[in-house]
């Protein structure tokens, strides 16, 4: 069974599983505990009703330590597994994993927001975002895809089929501060077939004046006003010479 106790002395495995170093995990833990206490006060049940007996009575939960609660939800967010596979890592059933995922995701979101680490979701507020302006308005834009279950509807299958990944995916836009490596903006979830440039145009991202923006070839032609963009280009010398008559 995966647990904080087993991973705390294995820094490389801890980072691979959660996306955080042990030091970063320890900084997040107090905010996570505070958010949990705020969203799930001990004097009330999960349904929000006043307890008829003192908290702590009855059956013990499968995640008793806050370290294991935070580890559970971070591993889920980092690796994006099927609930059945995530349950196997913790020696649970799929319904147990489903229950705790829905309990702990809001707690993690509140904890990140309390620490000022939650990415902006409103594209119009980027011009005044502290995360965007930290250091300098220098950012990198990219589209990220993750696999999803194949839709049963034929039209949805077509929309979510990604020619790049050769599977059905969901996509989000990410904007990252290049100086701090923090995620500034997380776009809405869209179908994986959507082209990166089209997604950026529809998002209507508002950048600070004279900001710099790095982008890849998926954003060819995306040129926001009053923003200096940079796009890498492959050197002609790097291309293999297939036909002597062409070279």
Tens-place pLDDT, residues 9-61: 999 999 999 999 999 999 999 999 999 999 877 666 666 667 666 655 555 66
Beta strands 211-214 and 227-230 are parallel
- Prediction pTM value: 0.74
Q: How many CB atoms lie within 10 A of CB 35?
A: 21
Tens-place pLDDT, residues 132-145: 888 888 999 999 99
Alpha-carbon distance of 173 to 37, in angstroms, equals: 32
- Residue 59's Cβ-count burial label (10 Å; 0-12, 13-18, 19+) is exposed
Q: Which long-range contacts (CB under 8 A, 24 or more apart) does 38-46 make?
A: 38/110, 39/106, 39/107, 39/110, 40/103, 40/107, 46/103
The domain segmentation of the chain, as residue ranges, is: 4-114, 123-230
Beta strands 190-191 and 161-162 are unpaired
């Amino acid at each position: 069974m995966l647990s904080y106790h087993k991973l705390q002395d294995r820094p490389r495995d801890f980072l691979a599983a959660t996306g955080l170093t042990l030091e970063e995990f320890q900084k997040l833990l107090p905010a996570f505990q505070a958010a949990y206490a705020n969203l799930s006060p001990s004097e009330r049940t999960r349904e929000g009703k006043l307890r008829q007996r003192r908290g702590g009575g009855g059956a013990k939960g499968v995640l008793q330590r806050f370290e294991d609660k935070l580890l559970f939800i971070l591993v889920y967010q980092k690796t994006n597994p099927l609930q059945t596979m995530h349950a196997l890592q913790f020696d649970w059933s799929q319904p147990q994993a489903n229950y705790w995922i829905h309990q702990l995701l809001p707690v993690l979101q509140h904890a990140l927001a309390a620490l000022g680490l939650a990415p902006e979701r409103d594209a119009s507020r980027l011009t005044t975002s502290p995360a965007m302006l930290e250091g300098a308005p220098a950012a990198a834009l990219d589209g990220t895809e993750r696999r999803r279950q194949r839709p049963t509807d034929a039209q949805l299958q077509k929309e979510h089929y990604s020619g790049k990944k050769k599977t059905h995916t969901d996509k989000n836009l990410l904007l990252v501060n290049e100086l701090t490596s923090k995620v500034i903006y997380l776009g809405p979830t869209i179908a994986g077939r959507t082209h990166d440039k089209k997604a950026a145009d529809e998002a209507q991202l508002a950048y600070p004046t004279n900001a710099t923006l790095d982008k890849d070839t998926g954003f060819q032609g995306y040129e926001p006003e009053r923003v200096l963009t940079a796009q890498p280009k492959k050197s002609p010398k790097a291309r293999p010479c297939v036909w002597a008559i062409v070279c």
